[in-house]
Amino acid sequence: MAKFITEGQGTIVGLGETDGSPHDVDAWVCRVTQGVLNAGARVYVVRDGSIIHEGKIRELWRNRQRMATISEGNEGAVWIEDAKLQLDDVIKIAA
């Protein structure tokens, strides 16, 4: 796997509710483990040490409010364009 200079990183920890969201698909709950996740940022989805998807964070939600960022230590709902996420996937925003 390529080495990253990471601006933000999080781990998928569960399936979230879609209440209040305009999306028809379920959101994945992401715990931010390093830095921040930013709405609109280009991301890499890593599963079992391999990049399985490159995309863009479509939206972030926390406490039923749309957010621009979610910071380290917090959890929030994340939608990533065209991603098929699973529990324990890692989301990385590369600098």
28-83 per-position pLDDT tens digit: 999 999 999 999 999 999 999 999 999 999 999 998 899 999 999 999 999 998 88
Q: Give DSSP secondary structure letters for 6-40.
A: EEEEEEEEEEPP-TT-S-SSPPEEEEEEEEEEETT
What pLDDT was estimated at residue 81? 87
Determine the Cα–Cα distance for residues 50 and 39; give it in Å rounded to an integer. 23
The full set of domains in the chain, from first to last, is 6-94 (2.40.30.10)
Among 14-18, 52-56, 90-94, which is the least confidently predicted range?
14-18
What pLDDT was estimated at residue 1? 46
Q: How far is CA 47 from the centre of its chain?
A: 13
